[in-house]
Amino acid sequence: MRWIAGLFLIAHGLVHLAIWLPRPEAKAPLHVCRSPFAGEVRRLAVALALAAGAVLGLGGLGLLVAAPWCIPVTVAGAGISAALLVLTFNRWWLIGLGINAAIIVLALQQTG
């Protein structure tokens, strides 16, 4: 089961890179670099996506090798991801916020 969870975390991190790194087209249905709160936030969104991708990937790798530090890293990665989703919020990100909440809850259950 650890393998599945580790690979899921790595894939979750890669999805952030796939969504936020390419420059969005003008006719795209979602404007992933626009915040309903702060307007155009491409640089910040890309920085958060890079951070989330790296930290989630590192957490996934840590989980694959059963490293003791993987739980706090995973929680941090999910937190960065949640911050990115809130910053660029649209209704489709509710799924991602649910995924991040589940990652945090499941990771924290492992510490208890």
3-class secondary-structure state, position 40 = strand
Q: For residue range 42-97, what is the model confidence (pLDDT) as tens digits? A: 999 999 999 999 999 999 999 999 999 999 999 999 999 999 999 999 898 999 99
Euclidean distance between CA atoms 56 and 9, whole angstroms:
6
**What is the mean predicted confidence (pLDDT) over 7-24?**
94
| Sign of torsion over alpha carbons 103, 75, 33, 91 | positive
Is the pLDDT score of 7 beyond 80?
Answer: yes
In 3D, which of 72, 83, 54 has the Cα closest to residue 108?
72
Largest CA-CA distance found in the chain, in angstroms, rounded? 47
Tokens of 53: 């991708």
